[in-house]
């Protein structure tokens, strides 16, 4: 049976040894699950988009992520594009309007309104789709970005794929129009991963606060929720970033992944 080395941070390795966690069994189960998810999204991303059950073929995507993908497909069709590119997927995230990826971009001081304007001036054509194709497909970079989104979610240990993971997939994809635009605006991959981790921690903190408050005093408008989330992120981000930096230092990671 082939052997794959798994490197763990010192703290985690000590805990695994102390509690006698069956590393091989756990890793095999996690890898089997990851392979199934990546295989499923690859088949979906490379298939035709005329299938009415497309969103049903994205079972691990959250409702907001599914909506973003659907809006991207609709935008592509409205443009008369031969395929759905990464620019369309990013446009879908922006158009959805209420997802965590937008909060992450704002934390990184990337104005979503200006980003939407910049996106409108970008060429949507990308490799991987024939101009005379009788059916619509994702472009090569868009298919890769969807696959990378699943990988990012798996890396976080999440059993779902949200718009925040899709944003990371777009940034990580090297050839897509969306990734090039995002990186030029300062959305560096490793820092965005940290922002996503902090935003998720802030969201959990926000939900705990909201549940502890009486209904009459709970914030309800999108502006209030966004302000509370930003404040929660600010409180949570420093210890999370510090811990990630310690783990990266121990692992010898110094540059962008």
**Per-residue pLDDT averaged across 195-204, rounded?**
76
Q: pTM, whole model, 2 decimals?
A: 0.69
The region of weakest confidence among 5-9, 43-47, 86-90, 165-169 is 43-47
Nearby residues of 69 by Cβ (< 8 Å), 6 or more positions away: 54, 55, 58, 61, 89, 92, 146, 166
Residue 18 contacts by C-beta under 8 Å, 6 or more apart in sequence? Answer: none
Cα–Cα dist 197/113, whole Å: 23
- Domains in the chain (CATH in brackets) are 18-187 (1.10.1780.10), 198-252 (no CATH)
Beta strand residue intervals within 53-189, DSSP E: 83-84, 137-138
198 with 182: CB under 8 angstroms? no
Distance CA 73, CA 77 (A): 6
How far is the C-alpha of 152 from the C-alpha of 68, rounded, in Å?
Answer: 17
pLDDT tens-digit series, residues 53-77? 666 677 789 999 999 998 998 888 8
């Amino acid at each position: 049976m082939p052997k794959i080395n798994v490197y763990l941070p010192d703290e985690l390795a000590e805990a695994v040894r102390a509690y006698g966690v069956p590393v091989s069994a756990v890793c095999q189960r996690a890898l089997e699950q990851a392979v199934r998810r990546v295989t499923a999204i690859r088949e979906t991303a490379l298939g035709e988009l005329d299938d009415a059950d497309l969103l049903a073929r994205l079972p691990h995507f959250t409702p907001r992520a599914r909506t973003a993908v659907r809006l991207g497909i609709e935008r592509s069709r409205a443009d008369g594009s031969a395929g759905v590119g990464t620019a369309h997927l990013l446009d879908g995230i922006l158009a959805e309007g209420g997802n965590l990826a937008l909060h992450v971009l704002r934390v990184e001081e990337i104005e979503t309104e200006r980003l939407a304007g910049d996106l409108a001036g970008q060429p949507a054509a990308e490799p991987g789709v024939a101009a005379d194709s009788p059916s619509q497909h994702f472009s090569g970079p868009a298919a890769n970005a969807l696959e990378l989104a699943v990988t990012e979610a798996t890396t976080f240990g999440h059993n779902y794929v949200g718009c925040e993971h899709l944003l990371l997939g777009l940034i990580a994809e090297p050839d897509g129009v969306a990734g090039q635009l995002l990186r030029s605006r300062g959305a560096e991959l490793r820092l965005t991963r940290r922002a996503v981790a902090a935003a998720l921690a802030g969201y959990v903190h926000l939900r705990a606060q909201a549940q502890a408050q009486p209904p009459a005093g709970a914030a309800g408008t999108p502006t209030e929720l966004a302000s509370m989330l930003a404040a929660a992120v600010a409180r949570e981000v420093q210890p999370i970033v510090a811990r990630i930096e310690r783990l990266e230092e121990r692992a010898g990671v110094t540059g962008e992944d």
